[in-house]
Amino acid sequence: MQLTRMEKPVRTICFLFVFVLIAFQVTSQVSAEGSNPPSPSLMPLPASMQASSGGALLITPSFTVVAKTSSDPRLRSVAEIFLGDLRRHTGMLQTNFHIASASEAGQLEIQSAAASKNPQQLGEDESYSLTVTSSKAELKAPTTLGVMRGLQTFLQLIKVSPQGFAVPAVTIEDKPRFAWRGLMIDSSRHFMPVEVIKRNLDAMAAVNGSHQSDLPESFRDTSGTHQRALALPVQVASSEVARE
């Protein structure tokens, strides 16, 4: 179709207008992204997360965890496991990471209002709040289980910066979206060494999965047809194995 002399200039003006509009939108988006600090990449995504431009908390060789008032004596054990994970996560094995008393100052303060149930039960409160600034981080939770979830999030936040390992300034309010979060491991049909199963449990914990007591595990196939091998010693009855 041939365009008239009047239609050609109008079409050109429309193209120019659309081009200028798109360029303006792209420029505005880039400016907005540059003014706001990027949000950390976490899995799973927290219920609420607000990045801050207040710098970052450096992970120094003398990194200290302070266990504030808590009615659960297991909180210290949780902190010790966290420091071991922190050493492996950063590769800073020969360091002075330690736990300090409640009256001392530290880079990470953890506090739980009550003890978690032992063993863990479905529906327990796993919520926590984590606030990180350039001077310290505060982790508070209603239960020790919530502290465990927050510590795994803290490990995910660690990034490499020009000054070394650091955690960006951020405020997180989080709780699990689903009460049951598990992984099916069928070692009856697919044999797995103990170390492989332990590694799977560590991976579940790293992404705030459920406690290992919630892990569906099939160690033996009761529906199989078993034939006694006469050349081998007599085996223990299956009922006794089940009781053990």
pLDDT surpassing 50 at residue 33? no
pLDDT surpassing 60 at residue 244? no
Helical H segments across 91-193, by residue range: 144-157
Tokens of 203: 């991976």
The pLDDT of 221-228, averaged and rounded, is 55
pLDDT surpassing 80 at residue 234? no
Q: Which of 27-31, 120-124, 239-243 has the highest mean pLDDT?
A: 120-124
pLDDT for position 22: 67
Read off the DSSP letter of residue 217: B
pLDDT for position 181: 80
CA distance 52 to 58: 15
E strands, the chain, are: 48-58, 64-67, 98-100, 108-114, 128-132, 137-143, 159-161, 164-174
Sort residue 55 into left (φ over 0), alpha (ψ -120 to 50) or beta: left
CA distance 234 to 224: 19
Of the pLDDT bands very low, low, confident and very high (cuts 50, 70, 90), residue 21 is low
pLDDT tens-digit map of 61-83? 999 999 887 668 888 889 999 99
pLDDT for position 143: 92
Please compute, for residue 218, the number of CA atoms within 13 A of its CA located in the half-sphere on the CB side.
13
pLDDT for position 95: 79
Q: Could you give the C-alpha distances from 111 to 88, 139, 213, in angstroms and in order?
A: 24, 6, 24
The pLDDT of 45-51, averaged and rounded, is 91
Q: Cis omega (within 30 of 0) on the bond before 119? A: yes
Of the pLDDT bands very low, low, confident and very high (cuts 50, 70, 90), residue 233 is low
Handedness of CA 183, 174, 141, 98 (dihedral sign): positive
Tokens of 36: 């706001």
DSSP 51-100: EEEEEEEE--TT-EEEE-S-S-THHHHHHHHHHHHHHHHHT--SS--EEE
Of the pLDDT bands very low, low, confident and very high (cuts 50, 70, 90), residue 238 is very low
pTM of the model: 0.69
pLDDT surpassing 50 at residue 214? no
pLDDT tens-digit map of 141-197? 999 999 999 999 999 999 999 989 999 999 999 998 888 787 778 777 778 888 988
